[in-house]
Amino acid sequence: MADIDAGDLIESAWWPESVTVQENTDQLNVTSTTSIAGSPECSTTFVAGMSGRAGVCVGAEIRNDDTAGNRLFVQFEIRLTNSSGAIHTAAVVTRGVSTTGDTTASQFMVFGNMTMVEGLTPGATYFIRTMHRVDGGTTNDIGHRRLVVIPLT
Protein backbone atom coordinates (compact mmCIF):
# COMPACT_ATOMS: atom_id res chain seq x y z
CA MET A 1 0.00 0.00 0.00
CA ALA A 2 1.34 3.45 -0.92
CA ASP A 3 1.98 6.06 1.74
CA ILE A 4 -0.40 9.00 1.86
CA ASP A 5 1.17 12.27 2.89
CA ALA A 6 -0.53 15.48 4.01
CA GLY A 7 -1.71 17.41 0.94
CA ASP A 8 -1.79 14.34 -1.35
CA LEU A 9 -4.71 14.14 -3.76
CA ILE A 10 -6.89 11.17 -2.81
CA GLU A 11 -9.25 9.84 -5.45
CA SER A 12 -12.25 7.69 -4.71
CA ALA A 13 -11.96 4.15 -6.04
CA TRP A 14 -15.57 4.33 -7.19
CA TRP A 15 -17.45 7.52 -7.95
CA PRO A 16 -20.38 7.26 -10.40
CA GLU A 17 -20.60 9.88 -13.11
CA SER A 18 -22.94 12.82 -12.80
CA VAL A 19 -25.39 13.00 -15.70
CA THR A 20 -27.42 15.71 -17.35
CA VAL A 21 -30.09 15.71 -20.03
CA GLN A 22 -32.30 18.34 -21.57
CA GLU A 23 -35.15 18.30 -24.05
CA ASN A 24 -36.05 21.41 -26.04
CA THR A 25 -39.25 20.27 -27.75
CA ASP A 26 -42.13 22.57 -26.78
CA GLN A 27 -44.94 21.00 -24.76
CA LEU A 28 -47.77 23.43 -25.55
CA ASN A 29 -51.27 23.66 -24.05
CA VAL A 30 -50.61 21.07 -21.37
CA THR A 31 -53.96 19.65 -20.22
CA SER A 32 -53.18 16.53 -18.18
CA THR A 33 -54.05 16.80 -14.50
CA THR A 34 -52.07 13.62 -13.78
CA SER A 35 -48.29 13.49 -14.20
CA ILE A 36 -47.13 12.53 -17.71
CA ALA A 37 -43.68 12.36 -19.29
CA GLY A 38 -44.44 14.28 -22.47
CA SER A 39 -43.18 13.44 -25.93
CA PRO A 40 -40.33 13.18 -26.45
CA GLU A 41 -39.31 12.30 -22.90
CA CYS A 42 -36.57 14.15 -21.06
CA SER A 43 -34.88 11.13 -19.49
CA THR A 44 -31.58 9.42 -18.73
CA THR A 45 -30.08 6.73 -16.51
CA PHE A 46 -27.59 7.01 -13.66
CA VAL A 47 -25.73 4.75 -11.25
CA ALA A 48 -26.28 5.30 -7.52
CA GLY A 49 -23.23 6.14 -5.41
CA MET A 50 -22.06 4.34 -2.28
CA SER A 51 -24.14 6.55 0.05
CA GLY A 52 -27.41 5.62 -1.66
CA ARG A 53 -28.09 9.33 -2.11
CA ALA A 54 -28.13 11.65 -5.13
CA GLY A 55 -28.69 15.33 -5.67
CA VAL A 56 -31.28 15.91 -8.39
CA CYS A 57 -31.76 19.26 -10.10
CA VAL A 58 -34.87 19.77 -12.22
CA GLY A 59 -35.29 22.85 -14.36
CA ALA A 60 -37.80 24.04 -16.89
CA GLU A 61 -38.67 27.01 -19.03
CA ILE A 62 -42.39 27.36 -18.40
CA ARG A 63 -45.18 29.86 -18.92
CA ASN A 64 -48.64 30.31 -17.49
CA ASP A 65 -51.12 31.67 -20.03
CA ASP A 66 -54.12 30.34 -18.17
CA THR A 67 -56.54 33.18 -17.37
CA ALA A 68 -58.01 31.24 -14.46
CA GLY A 69 -54.66 31.08 -12.62
CA ASN A 70 -54.20 27.31 -12.93
CA ARG A 71 -50.61 26.21 -12.36
CA LEU A 72 -48.23 24.00 -14.34
CA PHE A 73 -45.91 21.63 -12.44
CA VAL A 74 -42.68 20.02 -13.73
CA GLN A 75 -41.11 17.40 -11.48
CA PHE A 76 -39.26 14.08 -11.85
CA GLU A 77 -39.71 10.41 -11.17
CA ILE A 78 -37.06 7.75 -10.62
CA ARG A 79 -37.52 4.10 -11.58
CA LEU A 80 -35.27 1.09 -11.17
CA THR A 81 -33.28 0.25 -14.34
CA ASN A 82 -35.58 1.63 -17.09
CA SER A 83 -38.93 3.30 -17.89
CA SER A 84 -40.93 0.21 -16.92
CA GLY A 85 -39.02 -0.52 -13.70
CA ALA A 86 -40.44 -0.21 -10.22
CA ILE A 87 -40.96 3.39 -9.08
CA HIS A 88 -38.39 4.47 -6.50
CA THR A 89 -39.31 8.17 -6.29
CA ALA A 90 -42.75 9.21 -7.49
CA ALA A 91 -43.34 12.55 -9.21
CA VAL A 92 -44.55 15.08 -6.64
CA VAL A 93 -44.79 18.85 -6.94
CA THR A 94 -42.57 19.50 -3.92
CA ARG A 95 -39.61 18.06 -5.85
CA GLY A 96 -40.04 20.25 -8.89
CA VAL A 97 -40.95 23.67 -10.21
CA SER A 98 -44.21 25.38 -11.08
CA THR A 99 -45.67 28.47 -12.64
CA THR A 100 -46.90 31.09 -10.22
CA GLY A 101 -50.55 31.04 -11.27
CA ASP A 102 -50.20 34.67 -12.39
CA THR A 103 -52.96 35.21 -14.95
CA THR A 104 -50.95 37.91 -16.75
CA ALA A 105 -47.66 36.00 -17.18
CA SER A 106 -47.41 35.36 -20.91
CA GLN A 107 -43.61 35.12 -21.16
CA PHE A 108 -41.54 32.02 -20.57
CA MET A 109 -39.56 32.00 -17.30
CA VAL A 110 -36.84 29.56 -16.23
CA PHE A 111 -37.23 27.85 -12.86
CA GLY A 112 -35.02 25.31 -11.10
CA ASN A 113 -35.04 23.26 -7.92
CA MET A 114 -32.64 20.81 -6.28
CA THR A 115 -33.56 18.01 -3.92
CA MET A 116 -31.78 15.11 -2.24
CA VAL A 117 -33.01 11.61 -3.05
CA GLU A 118 -32.20 8.90 -0.50
CA GLY A 119 -32.65 5.14 -0.26
CA LEU A 120 -31.00 4.27 -3.58
CA THR A 121 -29.17 0.94 -3.81
CA PRO A 122 -25.43 1.61 -4.25
CA GLY A 123 -24.25 0.54 -7.70
CA ALA A 124 -27.78 0.05 -9.06
CA THR A 125 -28.86 1.68 -12.32
CA TYR A 126 -31.83 4.04 -12.15
CA PHE A 127 -33.96 5.70 -14.83
CA ILE A 128 -35.06 9.31 -14.26
CA ARG A 129 -37.40 11.47 -16.32
CA THR A 130 -39.27 14.72 -16.02
CA MET A 131 -43.01 14.56 -15.51
CA HIS A 132 -45.52 17.38 -15.80
CA ARG A 133 -49.15 18.19 -15.09
CA VAL A 134 -51.51 21.10 -14.56
CA ASP A 135 -54.11 21.70 -11.87
CA GLY A 136 -56.57 22.74 -14.59
CA GLY A 137 -56.72 24.92 -17.70
CA THR A 138 -55.25 24.33 -21.13
CA THR A 139 -52.81 27.12 -21.91
CA ASN A 140 -49.78 26.33 -19.77
CA ASP A 141 -46.64 25.68 -21.81
CA ILE A 142 -43.15 24.19 -21.42
CA GLY A 143 -40.26 25.50 -23.52
CA HIS A 144 -37.56 23.09 -22.31
CA ARG A 145 -36.91 20.59 -19.52
CA ARG A 146 -33.61 19.68 -17.86
CA LEU A 147 -32.33 17.17 -15.29
CA VAL A 148 -28.97 16.94 -13.54
CA VAL A 149 -28.20 13.96 -11.28
CA ILE A 150 -25.19 14.01 -8.96
CA PRO A 151 -24.65 10.62 -7.25
CA LEU A 152 -23.03 10.99 -3.82
CA THR A 153 -20.51 8.65 -2.23
Distance from C-alpha of 73 to C-alpha of 62, rounded to nearest angstrom: 9
Report the pLDDT value the prediction gives residue 53, as an integer from 0 to 100.
97
pLDDT at position 5: 80
> Which residues are 61's β-sheet partners?
110, 144
SS3 140: strand
Strands 43-47 and 125-134: antiparallel
pTM: 0.88
At 105 the pLDDT is: 64
**Residue 52: predicted pLDDT:** 96
Rounded Cα distance between 23 and 102, Å, is 25
Q: What is the pLDDT of residue 1?
A: 54
Predicted local distance difference test score (pLDDT) of residue 102: 76
pLDDT of residue 9: 72
Beta strand 27-30 with 72-80 is unpaired
Instruction: Report which of 20, 18, 93 is spatially closest to residue 62, judged by C-alpha positions.
Output: 93
Farthest CA pair distance, the chain: 68
Tell me the C-alpha distance between 33 and 93, whole Å. 12
Residue 75 phi, psi dihedral angles, 5° rounding: -140, -165
Cβ neighbours of 132 (radius 10 Å): 26
pLDDT at 65: 76
pLDDT at 14: 67
Report the chain (153 residues): mean pLDDT per 10 consecutive residues. Answer: 73 80 94 94 96 97 84 96 97 91 79 97 96 86 96 90
